Structure 1
Amino acid sequence: MKIILNHLFRGKINFILLGLLAVSVACNDDDEPDPITTEPEGQTIVDIASANDDFSTLVSAVVEANLAETLTSSGPFTVFAPNNDAFTSFLDENNLTAEELLNNEGLADILSYHVVAAEVPSSDVQAGPVNTVADRNFYVSVAPDNSIWINGNTQIIQTDINASNGVIHVLNNVIVAPSSNIAEIAIASTEASEPQFTQLVAALVRAELVEAVSGGVDDNLTVFAPTDAAFENLYETLGVSNIDEIPLATLRDVLLYHVVPSREFSQDLRQDAALPTLLDGASLTVDLANLQINDAGLVDTDLNIHATNGVIHAIDRVLLPEMEASAEVSATITLDNVGASSYVITSIDGEGASGELDTDNTSITLQSGLRYTFVNEGGSNHPLDFRDSDGNILLAQGDQEGTFENDANVAFEVDGANVTFTLTADLAEELAVYRCTAHAAMEGEIVIVD
């Protein structure tokens, strides 16, 4: 899948992930970047880089972007410096020539994203956000083997090249600040030649959660994003055809279960860690040994997709939280219609409900705290809804959105002709009538008893 990480560049940024996910938690000194502590007397960062053939592309870029004077000033600065191999990989991956890079009007911004206005030796590097001269954060991760990574796809391969005005750490990739949020990246992927997240986007839209993953840098979210194939497997398991056939409250809970309220790159994950989610009281379990989150496999080619408000990791299965079993239905009320003029009750089975049978728009008495199923034999031409005394919809069988439909305690469900809900105290306080959404004449009173 191709993700646009910056409007200045196009193409696929390959993420370097799988190897470090499989590493042991035990430290290995051989994997740590090699420190270099020699400081040629009086030589600035630019002097040192200019004398090292491995930085020739970086030096050309610094000169072209008119940053050489800044980086020869007193500073101090810390430069996270891509070597020539890093620039070569970056150019290849983004289908750019060196000339195109050097002539790019955003070159200074890209280079500034590699500079910190302070001297930060390797001993002071910690996991978390780092503000750069570009006034954009990059994010440091320390992997289980103690290797240090930036934005999930770039490793620090050499540290502590000291200069008179700061220090240089060497990178194996060029880091690029993200320009799109999680929602924008997911939506853009639906238009790719091989789309991955069309069903996820459809689910977010239906559950009205697009805004929840459209925030800014302070949101710090991690989305474990099921692929389209994962959703198709879910539909088969549930015996449904698409997102629209999954009860809305259930769908919302499932989606919230895929979002962690912290920015977790793959290098930040630890074996057996519990990750809290946006679904209250529910967490995910990390299994690095099998590259899984719960029982879903991490898709190694689509991990560490960096967004302005977090990070996306693709997974091959939809994660299902353990749902509390809904209370048993106390009574089932079957309705039929008389043309477009009225509903009639044809039967009441169970306890806690009453009303006259075969009477036009008769009042129905319900008991607060019980769970009910209404069977609407009027069909799709006469969708049933429940309203307050001002006519506001609280629950709806059809396409209308009711204000109590996402209340976990109400546990609203629509299954074909069946509409099921728990009459909570809050719902009981507002519930006044049942009505046909399409025909205002088909309306009857609801009386609540304790």
Structure 2
Amino acid sequence: MKTKHFFIALFSLSLIATSCSSDDDGTKTPAATPNIVELAQETPSLSSLVAALLRADGDLATVLSGDGPFTVLAPTNDAFATFLSDNGFASLEEVPTDVLSQVLLNHVIMADVSASDLVSLGSGYTSGSATGAGDENISIYFDATNGVTFNNVATVTAADVSASNGTVHIIDAVLGLPSIVDLAVANSDFSNLVAALGSADGDLVNVLSGDGPFTVLAPTNTAFNTFLDGTALGDVDTAALSQILLNHVIIGSSITSTALVDLEAGYTNTGATGPGESPLSLYYNTTNGVMFNGISSVIQADVIGTNGIIHAVDTVIDIPTVVTFALADPTFSTLVEALTTLTPATDFAAVLSRTETGNSDNLNPNFTVFAPTNDAFAALAAVPEEGPLTQILLHHVIKEANVTSSMLNNPGDTTATTIEGDDITITLPGTGNNIANITDGSGSTDIGIIAVDVQAGNGVIHAINKVMINN
């Protein structure tokens, strides 16, 4: 009997050894680590995710079984049930497969990101794999200051579940496809901006939740606090606040920081309006980072939503005057020197910054400024003394008129009187590369307008290629 029991025990050990090893030397081979899809299939609480991956466009189950690495934010079955209910779907089968694919891809980061990585960063943005405005990947906002949350709607309930091709973080809510408003609301550093959008005239929250595309220059809380300088947001005129906020919105395009760098410098229009309901201009320059109107720098670029893009900026961009653009654009640096250092007896900067009428000297906005470029000043044989130079500069400004290019006779001549007192005549179309030609007070006819309609809140600038001389 003892011999029989011995052989039974020996046979059992042999079976165990065989089942744990496929190596000739008898060492154990651990079970293969499942990939992300296999891991989800083995997790009962992720069965809805598996069903969604199999149903969605793009063969996502195969994609997420690939080499990776991937980080997948995996909503639970309860999260999917809530998502379906909130969006009016009775079942997963009612969700359009193309939409379902994009929603799922919004949970996939093309890198292996651990919870400790997120905690070390604190908060910020990363890119998912769904496609947003301009065919760029939609951004995901994470905050790891108190647990780990995404887009301020989903919390990690089980972190760092390892797979052979990446990492899974199980979350308690589905991440919908965010608009730029959703991304701003998610980030606590934009809470002042969100409050301002809600307070201002024009229902701006709904406007910026629309189709777009929009490019939004989003001031941080610190930027707003500096701008308000102790004034409560509720005490700011809501119509004025609306225009200031719209001055941070480029409507009709989603412009990445890379696109701006490629353009180097120039002007675009914002959603704010100036005299005659003309859209206000915005000057950008990328020679030292990305800066707007010479005062506001991008500190977080390319936050992508479904309907646009956000660039966080460090300064609120107030309604510009014609002086704002002259100071911001290095093309006019010699003009600025002429208006300030070379003519100290006349405070041109103060006069051309005016936004109110009724001034005792009758130099009232709006102003139309014909702004000579640096090259135009360089072409002068010599810069005149202060007295004559002051009159020359006044010969470049029309007061109480916002004369845009659309207001000029085309074809034909348009005559206007400058602050200095002499008339100038603008002729359309221009010759050569000139948009228009100008005849100045001295009778010179070879002055060209080379850029038009830089619109400020108190007037408009047209760049010219030669300094005009009065009679």
Same fold by TM (over 0.5)? no
More helix by share: 2
Q: Which has the higher contact order (CA 8 A, sep 6+)?
A: 1
Structure with bigger gyration radius: 2
- TM-score normalised to the size of structure 2? 0.42
